[in-house]
Amino acid sequence: MATYKLLLLPGDGIGTEVMAEVKRLIAWMNSHGLGSFETEEGLVGGAAYDAEGVAISDATMALAQASDAVIFGAVGGPKWADVPYEARPEAGLLRLRKDLALYANLRPAICYPALADASSLKREVVDGLDIMIVRELTGGVYFGEPKTIVDLGNGQKRAIDTQVYDTYEIERIGRVAFELARKRGNKVASMEKRNVMKSGVLWNEVMTALHAREFKDVALEHVLADAGGMQLVRWPKQFDVIVTDNLFGDLLSDVASMLTGSLGMLPSASLGDVDPATGTRKSMYEPVHGSAPDIQGKGIANPIAMLASFAMALRYSFGLGKEADFIETAIAATLDKGLRTADIKSDGTTVVGTREMGQAVIDEVARLAGA
């Protein structure tokens, strides 16, 4: 059995709490022959700032570069509200994405049958939902230059963020979306704002050309991103794969999370290109949610997004599809049994903490694996 090197970066707030459950799952898998993982742990975000004065150190970046996958918790919180912009906790996450060239962010929003009543939307709107948001992750307004605040000298300042996309960046994320669609519902909705933004015009043009050239068998529709947000809450099941830029993808995936019941349910995979020489790719797996300062330290955070992110690591980085299925089926079975963390509770269910939910999922994995 191949041994994989994982770099665990718990980060801040509930990042450390949900990562604890992944660590227990990894230990269980190692000791029951379901995988062979070597783990190393590093500091990122506010935790790294407090210890090292930066949101991620060069040494930790080197560990990330050398690992087979990075498993990331969450960063940020009010404690670091006044640290210099360059050292803010979120900068650690952005450096990981940029330096590892993780341009493809896969954010699946699945409404587990047991949670159809946990959404703030009507059951029939979300029941059976299974969409995949493909967010461009290393370009756009997150990284475009100039990005600055200029003092105009007359008591006024000017803040500048720059949205930049090159053809190749749009094409490669489009290819990821079309290829995923072929294995799912064969439909892609490309979301931009070509009516206002030049980057939207190019995005639309490149998607159209790529589709005509390589993916005619997949249905493509172009949706203005604001209308896309509206459609996501009106009738989300019309979508299969949504492909969009860095900022719209950030917003639309938080919207999509509420279709599944809670932000605590949404996992993600951030992937780079496959290296033709080794057949491997750089990757990082993280829940979509943040450090949730409002509930940190209480032991009530939902660990499912984090555990499901680890399942995505098994599937996308290590070809361990069966083991990934075990984890995802175990999550569904745990929910079917009526166990809920506070964020997804409803009448007649049993509310448990982070630790109990993590253990219940591990118990189900054990049952499914016959171990």
Footprint (CB under 5 A) of Mn ion, residues 199-258: 250
Segment 273-277 long-range contacts (CB within 8 Å, at least 24 positions apart) = 273/101, 273/103, 273/172
Shortest distance, position 286 Cβ to ligand NAD, whole Å: 5
8-state DSSP, 111: -
Closer CB to ligand IPM, 22 or 288, in the complex: 288
* Nearest residue (beta carbon) to ligand IPM: 90
CA distance 74 to 91: 12
Q: What are phi and psi of 35, to 5 degrees?
A: 170, 170
- The reply, when asked if residue 112 is annotated as ligand binding, is no
240 is catalytic: no
Do residues 223 and 98 touch, judged by C-beta distance below 8 A?
no
Confirm or deny that 295 is annotated as ligand binding.
Answer: yes
Cβ neighbours of residue 284 closer than 8 Å, sequence gap 6 or more: 64, 69, 70, 71, 72, 96, 97, 100, 102, 269, 270
The alpha carbon of residue 135 and the mean position of all alpha carbons in its chain are separated, in whole angstroms, by 9
Scanning 87-95, 122-130, 221-229, 349-357 for contacts with ligand IPM by CB under 6 A, the matching segment is: 87-95
Considering the candidates 226, 237, 345, 363, report the single residue annotated as catalytic.
Answer: 226
Q: Is 99 in the site for ligand IPM (CB under 6 A)?
A: no
According to DSSP, the β-strands at 241-244 and 269-274 are: unpaired
Name the minimum Å distance from CB 8 to ligand NAD: 14
**Does the annotation count 68 as an active-site position?**
no
Applying the rule CB under 6 A, the residues between 116 and 175 that interact with ligand NAD are none
Asked whether residue 82 is marked as a ligand-binding residue, the answer is yes
From first CA to last CA, the distance across the chain in angstroms is: 17
185, burial (CB in 10 Å: exposed 0-12, middle 13-18, buried 19+): middle
Residue closer to ligand NAD, measured from CB, 271 or 301 = 301
- If the CB atoms of residues 76 and 108 are measured against ligand IPM, the closer one turns out to be 76
Nearest Cα neighbor of 11 from 107, 138, 96 is: 96
- Least distance between ligand NAD and beta carbon 357 (Å): 10
Nearest distance, CB of residue 345 and ligand NAD, angstroms: 11
> Which CB sits closer to Mn ion, 219 or 247?
247
List the binding residues for substrate.
Answer: 97, 107, 135, 226
Point out which residues bind ligand NAD (CB under 6 A).
Answer: 14, 74-77, 90, 93, 262-264, 286, 289-295, 301-302, 305, 343
List the binding residues for NAD(+).
Answer: 77-90, 290-302
Active centre residues (catalytic): 142, 193, 226, 250, 254
